[in-house]
Every structure is written in C-alpha cells, then in structure tokens.
Amino acid sequence: MRRRIRPFLALVLAPVLAGCFASGGGGSDSADGPGAGSRLRVALAFPPAENLSPYGADATILSRLGVTEGLTALDANGAAGPALAASWRQENDRTWLFTLREATFQDGSKVTPAAVAAALTHATQAKPAPAALAGVTLTAKPEGATGVRITTGATDPVLPLRLSSPSLAVLSAKAYDKKDDVDLVGTATGPFELTKVMGATAATLDRYDDYWGGRAQAPGIDVKFVADGTARASALRTGQVDLAEAIPVAQAATLDQNTRKATATTRTTSLLLNSKKGPFKDAALRAAARKAVDTSALAKDVYEGYADAGAGIYGPAVTWAEGRRTEPVGRAEPAKPERTRITLATYDNRPELPEVAQVLKQQLDKAGFDVTLEVREYSRLESDALGGKFDAFVLARNTLVDTGDPVSVLASDYTCDGGYNIAQLCDKDVDRAVAKAEDTVDTAGRQDAAMAAEARILGTDAVVPLVHQRIITGVGTSVSGALLDPYERTLVGIGTRR
C-alpha cells in the first residue's frame, strides 16, 4: 500500500509565511458569531514527508491537529486510556477484547466493530509497516455489536499502549476505496475534519460537530507548514498565527514570556553512526567519535539551558529510567581517526539541529576526523537517512512517540529488522536484549529489561545521546486550551480556542 492520500496541489515547502492566515470561511469568526470562537491559525514545523500517510511519521501531524484517533490514547501518566474503545480486557496471553464507545466517522458512517477491524487490518498490510507494529503481528475481528477481538502472534503485554499510536488510527471504509490510496479527507473520527490539503504547504480543517467527545470550541483550523523556525516565531510575534510549534531556542527571547511555553518531553537528540558500512562500520572509530563529543557544551551553548546533557536513550522526562540506568556493555577502545573522511547530515526543521551538527563537526574535526556537513529539509532527507547514505546523522527523536512503550523505540531504531534504524545497527546481543524486554510482562521488570537493552545499544556506540530537550511552543495571548503534550501527540483539542 503506497503512502498517498490524493494528488498534491503544490510540491515544495514555502520557506516563509506568504501573507496572513485567512479563515476557511472568509472571515475570522465562526458562523455562530464572534462570541463562538475563531478559527485557529497554526504553524507546524514539519511538512508531510509521506503525503500524509496515516502509517508513518506524518501520522503525528494528524493526531496533533485532532483529526485522527485510535482505540486508546496515552493519559497524563503515559498509560493507555480510553479513546474509541471505552474499555478492554485481556482474555488470554495473546487475545484482547476491546469494547467500542458509540461514535461516528466524519463521513457520517458509524464506528462499528467491522470498520475498526478493517482499519487495523489495513495498517497491518501497509508497506513499510507502521513503527508501532515493528516485530508484531496481529489480527482484528469484530465481535458482536460493540466488540473487537485482537489476537497477536506472540504475547504482547503492551497491546493497549501500542494501539494508542497515531499510526494505528481508525478510519472509515471510504478511506480505502482506492486500491493504492488512503484518503484522510473526511474519513477520520477526531473533533476536526481534514477538508483540504494544499501540497506540502498548507491544510484546512473544519470542526466535526458530531464528535463523540463533544463539540470543539474552535470552528476550524488553518494550517501552514513552515520549516523556517525564525519565520514561525515571527508569525506568532506579529499575530499572523495563534500557535507555532518548535520555536527555535535562538528565537525564544524575541517572544513575550507569556507566549513561549517550554515543555519537558521524552525527546532525545542523538548522533547516529552508520554501523553497517563506511568508516563507522569499525567499532573503534565509533568509540573515537563518541569520545570526541562534549554533550554539556551542546546543552549549555546551543540549547541555552532548554536541554539537559545526554545521559542515555531515555532522558529525564522518562522519570523511572535514571534509577535503573547501568553502564554501557561491550564498548570498544577508541582508535585514532587519522583524518578519516565522514559525512554528517541533519535537517533544519528543528532549527537547533544544524547548529548542533556544526558544533559536532568542530569537535570531530578536532579529534582527527575530516567532516563534511550536509543539511536539508527533513522530507528531502529521510529516505537517504533510512537508506544508510550518510556516515553520521543528527536526529531528534521522541523515544515514546510510537507506542508509549519504552521498548518499542529500541526495536524500531536499533534492531536488525527495525523500520527506523538510521544507525543501520544489526547486533545479535542487542537483538536478544530487546527481545527479552519485549517478552517481559511485568511493568517494573519491563523497565529493567529496557535499561539492560539500552546498555547493550550504547555499548555499540552506534548512538551517542547528545541532549534531552525541552520543546518551546509559541502560544498567542488570545489562545486558551492548547495541549502541551510531553509525548508530542496532541496540540489542539476540543477546548482549544481563541
């Protein structure tokens, strides 16, 4: 199944905002009058990289805007809470029964067990598979008037968490009418309906009045995808937008204190080293690169205090990790780089990353490497990164975004069959450690096993944690109810308005 919703009207990202945001209805207020709230104007940092596929990284764009949702959702404590499923129970080691709430799709059809089972089946058939299903097989079947029975190929103790992933959103049958397309326009279940997509530049959403969770206060959302962080900050400052995500640290001081909101997140910025080919196939050279990096300088100078120095794959926002962290296992002794040539790449959607890469270049050059730096917009870089075309890559990654399960990011990013393995790591000891963590049912035991797997992964030096960052969101003074989510899955909800 190809990741495409419909032909795009534009193919390139507008680097800056061209003019003001106009409301979808031709005015700033809803049809219910000025007192009913105005359309929200939102600037997002990442344009669709996969044509708004519901199965890849773009799925988070849809969940942040309140378009899509799944059977479950992460609650404030990171546990699985009700969404389209009102409740669930585990019937045996591999089978769960989910009971649906009464809800409708945005095309007016009912959310039925058959529709939910079909949507999940489509997700299992997507190529490549959603990260939330890495290493997992499942079948979904309708059960009676309100039930969906889900059976996994092996024991999956975190299935309710897994089903909270934005990439496992439930869509109506209409979404799959075309063989090679998944059409998100008017086929989801969230409080806002995607009505128009203007390529990689903009999108329009209208309120879905029959949303099961209640009527949203904003009548709609006008979205622009603005990769330039300075432009996003300027748009908020000048009143062109109401919400602007990922404000650059360097621009934070240009905003009024009451419009910049810093949120501790589970996002870690790391240096990923290509362990499959090129210079960093040599573990000793990976060790030399890790030794050359001064993470405290990055946190203090590049992030200006909006980050902590890298401690591991999981940062301080994953509160249980620190007390369980152990020393990396099996590290090689560093070799002398002797002017080994390497290509270091990153993307500019997160404005700090090019500066991080520039500092890393200086540190690695000083240690004896010969570094060439390459920076592109993320959607123009992702396929090359996943294909292993760079020797080193700077990535900002939310470690709990795919499922909320700490083990999932290890499986997707650092195992031989991982679908987001930019480090190209394939190590039998790592795979065994991750598999053990995946098989552990008890919560505390699973956390311990995740930290043991982290120690194995860090021991390969295929990943060098750099900083654990806080995300700065620009929120206009007239806006209330913005959802500043540490998991970065939500931004706009039914209570968000201006």
Q: Over 60: is that where the pLDDT of 7 sits?
A: no
Residue with more model confidence, 52 or 366: 366
Phi, psi of 236 (to 5 degrees): -70, -45
Residues 377-405, mean pLDDT to the nearest whole number: 91
Residues 5-13, mean pLDDT to the nearest whole number: 32
Model confidence over 33-85: pLDDT tens digits? 433 579 999 999 989 888 888 998 889 999 999 999 999 998 877 789 999 99
Residue 28's pLDDT band (cuts 50, 70, 90) = very low
Q: Are 72 and 85 in contact (CB under 8 A)?
A: yes
Task: Tell me, yes or no, if the pTM score tops 0.85.
Answer: no
- Cα distance between residue 36 and residue 31, in whole Å: 8
Residues 460-482, mean pLDDT to the nearest whole number: 95
- Cα distance between residue 249 and residue 306, in whole Å: 7
Q: Are 242 and 42 in contact (CB under 8 A)?
A: yes
User: Which amino acid would we find at residue 204?
Assistant: T
Task: Classify strands 243-244 and 220-225 as parallel, antiparallel or unpaired.
Answer: unpaired
- Nearest CA to 421 out of 452, 447, 395, 453 is that of 395
Question: What class does CATH assign to 264-471?
Answer: alpha beta
Residues 100-113, mean pLDDT to the nearest whole number: 98
- Cα distance between residue 95 and residue 148, in whole Å: 10
Helix axes 443-460, 406-414, angle to 10 degrees: 30
Query: CATH 3.10.105.10 spans which residues of the chain?
Result: 264-471
Residues 347-360, mean pLDDT to the nearest whole number: 93
pLDDT value, residue 36 = 54
Q: Which CATH number fits domain 34-242: 3.10.510.20, 1.10.10.10, 3.20.20.140, 3.40.190.10?
A: 3.40.190.10
Q: Are 229 and 474 in contact (CB under 8 A)?
A: no
* Range with the poorest average pLDDT among 8-22, 127-141, 278-292, 325-339: 8-22
Residue with more model confidence, 50 or 302: 302
Task: Classify strands 341-347 and 370-376 as parallel, antiparallel or unpaired.
Answer: parallel
Q: Over 90: is that where the pLDDT of 349 sits?
A: no
pLDDT value, residue 166 = 94
User: 3-class DSSP state for residue 497?
Assistant: strand
Measured in residues, the chain has a length of 498
- Cα distance between residue 62 and residue 192, in whole Å: 10
* DSSP H/E element including 284: helix 283-292
Residues 184-193, mean pLDDT to the nearest whole number: 96
Per the prediction, the chain carries an average pLDDT of 89
Residues 463-471, mean pLDDT to the nearest whole number: 94
HEC assignment per residue over 215-276: CCCCCEEEEEECCCHHHHHHHHHCCCCCEECCCCHHHHCCCCHHHEEEEEEEEEEEEEECCC
Residues 486-490, mean pLDDT to the nearest whole number: 89
Residue 440's pLDDT band (cuts 50, 70, 90) = confident
Cis geometry, peptide bond prior to residue 248 (ω within 30 degrees of 0): no
Buried b (16+ CB within 10 A) or exposed e, 302-319: bbeebbbbbbbbbbebbe
Model confidence over 197-226: pLDDT tens digits? 998 899 999 999 999 999 999 999 999 999
Buried b (16+ CB within 10 A) or exposed e, 121-149: ebbeebebbbbbbbbbebebebeeebbbb
DSSP assignment of 428-490, as one string?
A: HHHHHHHHHHHH--SHHHHHHHHHHHHHHHHHHTSEEEEEEEEEEEEE-TT-B-----TTS--
pLDDT value, residue 19 = 42
- Cα distance between residue 65 and residue 182, in whole Å: 18
Q: Over 90: is that where the pLDDT of 360 sits?
A: yes
CA angle 413, 418, 420 (to 5 degrees): 50
Query: CATH 3.40.190.10 spans which residues of the chain?
Result: 34-242
3-state percent breakdown (helix, strand, coil) of the chain, nearest 5 = 30, 25, 50
